[in-house]
Amino acid sequence: LKRFIPAAVLNTALLVVFSSGFAVLIGRWTDLQISNLILALAPGGVAEMSITAQVLHLAVPLVTAFHVTRMIFVVLLSAPIFQGTRYLYSLRQAGSRRRTRR
């Protein structure tokens, strides 16, 4: 737990910083309000972010659409990313075995 909690806090902070930065970039390219985009790109569940958007009087459909799209990408890209990572790891392992045999 001594290593997990600091790593989890750092990961969450980085996610918030990067998603806020990305929201500002998208906001500059489009006419969408940055406050809507920050909530739309924030890490969290669809239900929680939609309720938060409603309470803050932000664009609930926009926030929901961004989160649903994110979940679709996560579901569709998880397996290919895992397979690619596993392949690269196997190449790395094979390369390290060849170096130790010499």
11-38: pLDDT as tens digits: 999 998 999 999 999 999 999 999 999 9
DSSP secondary structure of 21-87: HHHHHHHHHSSS-HHHHHHHHSSS-HHHHHHHHHHTT--HHHHHHHHHHHHHHHHHHHHHHHHHHHH
For residue 45, give the nearest of 63, 58, 62, 31 by alpha carbon. 63
Local confidence band at 78 (pLDDT 50, 70, 90 cut-offs): very high
pTM passes above 0.85: no
Local confidence band at 43 (pLDDT 50, 70, 90 cut-offs): confident
Rounded average pLDDT over 55-73: 94
Q: Provide, rounded to the nearest whole percent, the portion of the chain with pLDDT above 90.
A: 76
